[in-house]
Amino acid sequence: MDWLYWAIPAAVVGLFLLPTMAVAGIIYTVLLVRTSKKKWDRSCSIPTDEEYCRMFDIGIEWDKQYGACKHPVEIVSDGFRLAGEYFDFGAKKAVIIIPGRMESLLYSYFFAEPFRVGGCNVLVIDNRSHGLSEGRVVSLGFREYRDILGWSKLLHDELGNETVILHGICIGAEVAVFALTSKDCPDYLRGMVAEGMFTNFYQSFRNHMIDGRHPLFPLAGEVMLLTRIFSHARAVTDGPLKRIPGLKKPILFLHSREDIFSVPAQADALYAACGSEQKKLVWFPVGAHSRIRINDAEAYDRAIVDYLPVFETEGVPVA
């Protein structure tokens, strides 16, 4: 009857974990699975948020102003047909704006102006599983980085851009780091701008749970387990902090002191760990997560425009 000593505790643990695992499955699905075409489509993702709607509307006005320079583009990556829009301003370098989770390319219009001013063509994209792009599961950059390499190849090989830069917001910054530290990263993919980058997705998720006053145990661990199984993302043990020591290309960090999800300490840790000699961290006193520019567009744009020449140089440290 020794088996009883194991069976009874196992049954108790199972009865406790099954209900919480079901809740974790719901959370995981809400966060990282596209369950219908309406989810993460090209509409404003938070229509009840006035500041977010203002960002979206400003972006739409930017598109109206420069829409004559735009044409649709697409690639196939990992078997998924992905949609984008290319704004050709006649430059020899281009930026790929990589939005965060839930956002389509329409959201990215809002971030395009400093790159246009700085002499870049602009590519906005629907990440896989978003907008008009195919896909169902978000992999937090662990697979999406290959899409960015595909878009970069299009910009360079077919559209004539000599230099490609990445601008990543939140998870988009993680995707950019993965692309730039990949063994397949081409020389013409020169570096990145990162807004609100986290050390790893687990830390960001944990801060969201705390902000929403949700219990961390055991849900946080269970959601991360499901993320590992179904999204193939090592969201606890891997991420920007692990990869960024291998980043040797230029990077501009933009971070808000008010960010409660990618907290300021994470930006400090990422900057310290970054292996690039061409790195710069610019702090902004105001702005929630992913909302720096809407609170100080002049300083945000100036930081990017002033840094863009660094992507055209080799081996020059940034003060």
* Identity of residue 266: Q
Residue 296 domain boundaries: 47-200+238-312
In a domain, 86, yes or no: yes
In a domain, 41, yes or no: no
282 three-state secondary structure: strand
Structure confidence by residue, pLDDT tens digits, 161-202: 999 999 999 999 999 999 999 999 999 999 999 999 999 999
In a domain, 62, yes or no: yes
What's the rounded mean pLDDT across residues 297-319? 86
What's the rounded mean pLDDT across residues 126-145? 98
What's the rounded mean pLDDT across residues 213-225? 92
Q: Say which CATH number the domain at 179 has.
A: 3.40.50.1820
What's the rounded mean pLDDT across residues 113-135? 98
Mean pLDDT, the chain, integer = 94
Q: Detail the DSSP E strand segments found in the chain.
A: 70-77, 80-87, 93-98, 121-125, 163-169, 189-195, 251-256, 279-284
Contact assessment for residue 82 and residue 74, using Cβ atoms and an 8 Å cutoff: yes
Q: Using pLDDT thresholds of 50, 70 and 90, give the confidence band for residue 313.
A: confident
In a domain, 219, yes or no: no
Q: What percent of the chain has pLDDT over 70?
A: 92
β-pairing verdict for 80-87 and 93-98: unpaired
Structure confidence by residue, pLDDT tens digits, 257-272: 999 999 999 999 999 9
First to last CA, the chain: 70
Map tokens 């590992």 to a residue: 228
pLDDT at 16: 54
Task: In whole angstroms, give the CA distance from residue 98 to residue 254.
Answer: 15
In a domain, 210, yes or no: no
Task: In whole angstroms, give the CA distance from residue 125 to residue 131.
Answer: 9
pLDDT at 314: 60
In a domain, 122, yes or no: yes
Structural domain total, the chain = 1
In a domain, 24, yes or no: no
